[in-house]
Amino acid sequence: MAEVSKRFFIKARDFVRAGEGAIQVQGLLKSIGYGADLIRRISICAYEAEMNVVMHGGDGELLLMIEPHRIVLEVNDHGPGIQDIELALQEGYSTATPEHREMGFGAGMGLPNIKKNADSLDIQSGNGEGTCLTIGFRLDAG
Amino acid sequence: MLRASGLSRAKRAKKRRRPPGSRVGKTLLALFNLGFYEKGNAIERKVITVSDIREVLHAEIFSGEDRVNAPVTAGTASDLMSDMLTGQNSGVVLMTGLCNVQTIRTAVIADVAAVVLVRAKRPTREMILQARGHGLALLSTPFTMFTACGRLFSKGLRGVELKAPD
């Protein structure tokens, strides 16, 4: 059971607001007083996941859950889903459009970077089924 | 004609312009810089301030005017925001040609100290508001990316790498 949970709505293709949820997550974690490295890792994962939803996923939501021994980010969307999860986890693989690249994204580093910064990552997705990322961080890891 | 104070008018004016506490700040920076002079293949580096960056790059400042003495530990340059989310970029200055609100959001998430837009690019109103809201220094320089990096490097600022490859 989460001691604190907060939900942020993510709108598809809204590049003006994209990333605001992650910045609010960062602000909340700073106000609680977690270590700088843990905040950096969680903020980066939240931002990468949020940008993925904005760019590829259709509308979705970012859920932050703070539990006694871990912090969990759950990111759901109603988009087309990931056809080949193993391929999507490879650095450099990208289905980004020129519009995404104009915003400075689409280098195929999003999911690999989430995996690198998280203590655990679970991806549930399928063709046309949307995507659910569950990203975990141990609180004893600092 | 010599004056009683022994200082010319220009020198006295310069002395008056010096912001309070800057001597203390410079001493602290000098002490901090000593910590980087290590043996082995560690890269010798200096910590500079946002104020130094503004001066060296002839830059206009749009946000962070009240934090010009904030230390900047290293520099990085990229138009690819994905790259800014990998590695340690906390406290660095980002030089970029990408001029949109995602530049600011990425900089906030990556915890960078300052963003410099190159080639005289002007930030949008939304970018300035976002930068001010998050205490991020935002500047614009007329220099190109290469020249801007070179000028800061020549002042002792180094990249994010702490050690040279073996």
> Which pLDDT band, with edges at 50, 70 and 90, does B162 fall under?
confident
What value of ipTM does the predicted structure carry?
A: 0.85
| Residues contacting residue B90 through CB under 8 Å, at least 6 positions apart | A36, A40, B110, B111, B112
The fraction of chain B above a pLDDT of 90, given in percent, is: 63
Provide the residue range defining the domain that includes A94: 4-141
Tell me which chain A residues have a C-beta less than 8 angstroms from the C-beta of B86.
Answer: 109, 113, 116
> Which pLDDT band, with edges at 50, 70 and 90, does B12 fall under?
low
Q: How many domains does chain A have?
A: 1
Least confident range from A29-33, A97-101, B137-141: namely A97-101
> pLDDT value at position B3?
46
Chain B contact residues (CB < 8 Å to A): 79-83, 85-86, 90, 98, 100-103, 105-106, 108-111, 126, 134
Q: Which CATH number fits domain B9-154: 3.50.50.60, 3.30.70.1450, 3.40.1390.20, 3.40.50.720?
A: 3.40.1390.20
> Which pLDDT band, with edges at 50, 70 and 90, does B135 fall under?
very high
> Which pLDDT band, with edges at 50, 70 and 90, does A74 fall under?
very high
Does the beta-carbon distance from B98 to A109 stay under 8 Å?
A: no
CATH code, A62: 3.30.565.10
Q: Is A1 part of the contact surface with chain B (CB cutoff 8 Å)? A: no
Beta pairing, strands B93-96 & B114-117: parallel
Q: Which residue of B has its CA nearest to A19?
A: B105
- Identify the residue among A17, A41, A43, A99 best suited for mutation to test binding to B, counting B beta carbons within 10 A and taking the highest: A43
Q: Quote the CA–CA distance of A57 and A11 in Å, as a whole number.
A: 9
Give the nearest partner residue to B85 out of A36, A48, A103, using CB atoms.
A48
Residues counted in chain A: 142
Does the beta-carbon distance from B106 to A20 stay under 8 Å?
A: no
Does the beta-carbon distance from A40 to B106 stay under 8 Å?
A: no
pLDDT digits (tens, 9 = 90+) for B59-110: 999 999 998 999 999 999 999 988 889 888 999 999 999 999 999 999 999 9
Is the model's pLDDT at A13 over the cut of 90? no
Domain spans in chain B, listed from the N-terminal domain onward? 9-154
Question: Please, which residues bridge with residue A133 across strands?
Answer: A75, A123
